[in-house]
Amino acid sequence: MSIKLALNSYGKNAVNLSKIIRHADYHEFRQITVNISLEGDFTTAYTEGDNTKILATDTQKNTIYALAKEHFTSSIEAFGIYLSDHFIANNPQVTKVTIDITEHGYTRMAFDGSLHPHAYIGNGPDKNTALIVQDKGNITVRSGVKDLLILKTTDSGFENFIRDEFTSLKETADRILATQCEASWLYTSNGQDFTACAAAVRNTLLKTFAFHNSLSVQQTLYAMGEAVLQEHSMIKEISLQMPNKHHIPFNLEQFGLFNKNDIFIATDEPYGLIQGTITR
């Protein structure tokens, strides 16, 4: 029996970088986390300890900071593409680069209708993401959003599901629907205004969630993906992950009180996880 190395990759995770762009009358602030991973001709590094083709992960990290000085000026997607081009162009032993960027958004504070020149407030839990994969001359860009915490207090039910000997869940036509949505989408081409596109997709996701009369998380997930494909012709496919953040009616009868569907126990675990990809 011969034993050999199969799939392998290496790189640096959690490269946390922030940047100030100083304009004459205000400062721009950006903060990102970059994960980089390389694949290629690295077998002997694993099997023989031969590091001659290894671009140290420390060097990868340094390269990200150094290139950010001149080249992180617009979208996280554009910076990711620049980084992946750099690693491919300078390392013939590398056949595939994956750059995964999460932006921690900040917005300038506003007082009396005017923006403060250099004070920012964090945007909240949701973050924009970009995943760039460059492989044999092919580059794919996925933009996304994660930790989008959304909730509605009605217009959601869950009925007509299987009842077997282990079913205890009650049917409901009126429940809280809450999720921490993660979405990522693929473009038909890479010449987009990525930042504007991400903002527009986020808005479509929120609007569809809010106005949808939900029979299940599954149905709402599909409706959200379908609306993104209908409203944004530059997107060819979207994947959504929607954990069901359960709010379960609390038993008040034990205290002689009636729960008018208004007191719940919010549970973190276990949670339902609903996932789907919607494509053209």
Annotated catalytic residue within 12, 61, 127, 245: 12
Identify the residue among 78, 216, 240, 243 touching ligand URC (CB under 6 A): 216
The residue among 73 and 218 lying less far from ligand URC, judged by its C-beta, is 218
Measure the CA–CA gap between 165 and 163, rounded to whole angstroms: 7
Identify the residue among 68, 88, 183, 217 touching ligand URC (CB under 6 A): 217
Please state the closest distance from residue 145 (CB atom) to ligand URC, in A.
21
Q: Is 230 annotated as a binding residue?
A: no
Please state the closest distance from residue 225 (CB atom) to ligand URC, in A.
15
Residue 158 sits in the site that holds ligand URC (CB under 6 A)? yes
Residue 55 sits in the site that holds ligand URC (CB under 6 A)? no
Residue 209 sits in the site that holds ligand URC (CB under 6 A)? no
Known catalytic residue: 12? yes
Residue 240 sits in the site that holds ligand URC (CB under 6 A)? no
Annotated catalytic residue within 57, 73, 95, 195: 57
Known catalytic residue: 57? yes
Residue 169 sits in the site that holds ligand URC (CB under 6 A)? yes
Known catalytic residue: 116? no
Stretch in the footprint of ligand URC (CB under 6 A) among 18-26, 96-104, 129-137, 215-223: 215-223
Reply yes or no: is the peptide bond before residue 270 cis, omega within 30 of 0. Answer: yes
Q: Is 30 annotated as a binding residue?
A: no
Which amino acids are annotated as binding site for O2, given as ranges?
57, 244
Which amino acids are annotated as binding site for urate, given as ranges?
57-58, 158, 175, 217-218, 244
Please identify every residue annotated as catalytic. 12, 57, 246
Binding site for ligand URC (CB under 6 A): 158, 169, 216-218, 244, 272
